[in-house]
Amino acid sequence: MKILAEHLNRSFWLSPASRLSIMKLRLSVIGTGYLGATHAVCMSSLGYNVVGIDHDPEKVAMLNDGHLPMYEPGLEELLKEQLATGKLSFSTDFADLATADVHFVCVGTPQMKDSLAADLTYIESSIAALSPHLKSGSLVVGKSTVPVGTAQHLRETLASTAPQADLAWNPEFLREGFAIEDTLRPNRLVIGVTSDRAESILREVYAPIIALGTPWIRADLPTAELVKVAANSFLATKISFINAMAEVCEAANADVTILANAIGYDPRIGHKFLQAGIGFGGGCLPKDLRAFMARAGELGASQALEFLREIDAINLRARQRVIDVVRKFVGDDLTGKTIAILGAAFKPESDDVRDSPALDIAAQLHTAGALIKIHDPKALVNAKKRFPLLSFASNINDCFKDADCVLHLTEWREYRQLDLEQIRGLVKNPLIIDGRNALDREAWRTAGWTFHALGRSD
Ligand code: UDX
C-alpha cells in the first residue's frame, strides 16, 4: 500500500536531530481500542518505542500476536510490521510503562446508561493506575473525547498524586476507515497545554508530522477539549441539515442529491458531509452531541446548544422515514415480509456497529414482524453479537433470496458493483430502497427494479 510505504520510510527523511529525539523518547498508550491501537501502531511507525496498555488480557494477547480487535484498512499489516521491529509491545501491567516519557490516554468515554453525559470512569481509573509509575518530567497527554473541564480536574488530581508529571490535552479527529492517514497526516494538530515545556515535548513527538506542514494549534486545556466536540457537532449539523432538506424535498417533489450538489459548489458550504440518507451513527457523533448538551447544561449554557437536540431528532427521524418508505411500497402490515438489508456497519470500511442506523432500522423492521436478512462484508460478527435475534447472510445471494424488498443502508463499494440482472432473478419483488443515496438509480431501473431513495422524487 502506497500510504503505508510512504510513512514507513518516514524515519529516513527525518533530520538527524529528530532521529536522535525519536530514539530517546519512549511513549506509552493507555487504552487500545480504536483510537489507542491506531495511535500506538502509528507512533511506532514513526520510530518510537511504544508500549500499549489495556486492562483486557484477550485484547493485549491479540495485539501482541499481530491481530487487531477491529477492522481498519491497512492497520493490521502495519501492526505486524511494527511488532517485528521489537519497538512495539502491549501489556496489561501499568508497571511496563514506567520507563516511558510521554503517556497518551486513549480510553473510551461512552454515554452513561442513565443520562446523556459521558462516563469518565475509565479515564479516571487510568490516571489513578498511571500515577504511581510516572517518572519525573513525564507528560500525560489526554486524547479521549471528554466534557470540557475534565482536563483541568485531572491536572489537579495529578498535582496531588504525581506532582512530578504534567498534563496536556491533544484531541484526536480520526475517522474510522481512514485511521492511519488521519493519524499520520492529520489536517491539524491541536494541543491544550499549561506550560511551554509541555508544548515542546509534544512538538518533539510530532516533529515528523509537523514537518509535513501540518497546522499546529496551541490552546489552553478547555479550548482543546471543546475543539473536538465543536468539530463533531458541526459535522453532525451538516448531515442533519441535508437530511432536513431531504424531508422538504420529499414534500415538494424535489431531489436532494441535485440540491446538495448545487449548494456544495459554494466554497463556504462545500460538498463533503452533504450525503442525505439514514443519518449518522457510530461511537462518536451521537454520544459526543449528547455529552456536549449535558455539559453545557451543567455550565449554565444549555440554551446555546438547544439546536443540537433538533440535530439529534432529525437524525433519528431519518431512520424512521426509511421504515415509512418500506411500508408505503411493501404494505402497512410487514408480518412475514422478507426484507434484505445491505449493510450493518455504521459506515463503510468499518466493522463498527455502535449506534448503527442500519441495524437500528433492521431491529425495528424485525419487531414489526418482517423477516430480516442482513449482509455486510465486515461487520456481521459484531452485528450478531449485538442483535442475536436478527438473521444474517454471509453470502450475498442468500441475502437477496425471495426478498419482498431490498434496503441499501451502508454504502459499501461492492453494493455499487452488483450484477443487477442476476440479483433480480433471486428476489421475489425487484424493489430497492437506497437509504444512502449512493446507488445509480438509472442503472437499477434499466435492470428492471423499482427504485426509491430518501429525499428524491420518484
Ligand atoms: C467522526 C468524525 O468524522 C471524526 O473526526 C471523529 O474523530 C470521530 O467521529 P467517524 O465516527 O469515523 O468519525 O465517522 P464519520 O466519517 O464522521 O461518519 C459519521 C456518520 O455520519 C456515519 O454513520 C456516516 O454514514 C454518516 N454520514 C457521513 C452521513 O450520513 N452523511 C454524510 O454526508 C457523511
**Blockwise average pLDDT, block size 10, the chain, 458 residues:** 45 45 83 96 97 97 97 97 98 96 95 89 95 96 95 95 96 96 98 97 97 98 98 98 98 98 98 98 95 96 97 98 96 97 97 97 97 97 96 97 98 98 97 98 98 93
CA atoms in the 13 A half-sphere facing the CB of 59:
15
Degrees to nearest 5, angle at CA 283 with 278 and 284: 90
- Pairwise CA distance, residues 454 & 315, whole Å: 13
- Pairwise CA distance, residues 373 & 218, whole Å: 50
- What's the longest Cα–Cα distance across the chain? 71
Any ligand 1 atom below 6 A from CB of 182: no
Residue 334 has what DSSP assignment? -
CA 174 / ligand 1 centre spacing (Å): 10
Run of H or E residues at 340: strand 338-342
Residue 30 has what DSSP assignment? E
- Pairwise CA distance, residues 406 & 451, whole Å: 10
2-219 matches 237-453 in fold: yes
Q: Where in the chain are the domains?
A: 2-219, 237-453
Which atom belonging to ligand 1 lies closest to the Cα atom of 232? Answer: 2
pLDDT of res. 12: 36
For the chain, how far is it from start to end, CA to CA, in angstroms? 42
CA 286 / ligand 1 centre spacing (Å): 10
SS3 133: helix
**Which residues lie across from 77 on neighbouring strands?**
none
Any ligand 1 atom below 6 A from CB of 340: no
pLDDT of res. 270: 98
When the candidates are 3.40.50.2000, 3.40.430.10, 3.40.50.720, 3.40.50.970, the CATH number that belongs to 2-219 is 3.40.50.720
- Pairwise CA distance, residues 274 & 320, whole Å: 19
Which atom belonging to ligand 1 lies closest to the Cα atom of 273? Answer: 33
pLDDT of res. 11: 42
Any ligand 1 atom below 6 A from CB of 279: yes
CA atoms in the 13 A half-sphere facing the CB of 115:
11
Residue nearest to atom 20 of ligand 1 (CA): 280
53 within 8 A of 101, measured Cβ to Cβ: no
**Mutation choice for ligand 1 from 188, 239, 288, CB with most ligand atoms inside 8 A:** 239
Q: Say which residues have a Cβ less than 8 Å from residue 234's Cβ, sequence separation at least 6.
A: none
Degrees to nearest 5, angle at CA 161 with 158 and 162: 70
- Pairwise CA distance, residues 304 & 350, whole Å: 33
Residue nearest to atom 34 of ligand 1 (CA): 273
Any ligand 1 atom below 6 A from CB of 430: no
Any ligand 1 atom below 6 A from CB of 346: yes
pLDDT of res. 17: 47
Any ligand 1 atom below 6 A from CB of 282: yes
- Catalytic residue numbers, as ranges: 284
Query: Is 3.40.50.720 the CATH number for 237-453?
Result: yes
329 within 8 A of 254, measured Cβ to Cβ: no
**Which residues lie across from 53 on neighbouring strands?**
30, 91
340 within 8 A of 373, measured Cβ to Cβ: yes
Grid cell of 107 as nine digits? 480510553
pLDDT of res. 338: 98
- Pairwise CA distance, residues 318 & 313, whole Å: 9
Amino acid at 110: P
Grid cell of 137 as nine digits? 518530567
Any ligand 1 atom below 6 A from CB of 275: yes
425 within 8 A of 335, measured Cβ to Cβ: no
pLDDT of res. 458: 79
- Pairwise CA distance, residues 320 & 208, whole Å: 46
- Pairwise CA distance, residues 268 & 250, whole Å: 26
Which atom belonging to ligand 1 lies closest to the Cα atom of 231? Answer: 5
Residue nearest to atom 24 of ligand 1 (CA): 280
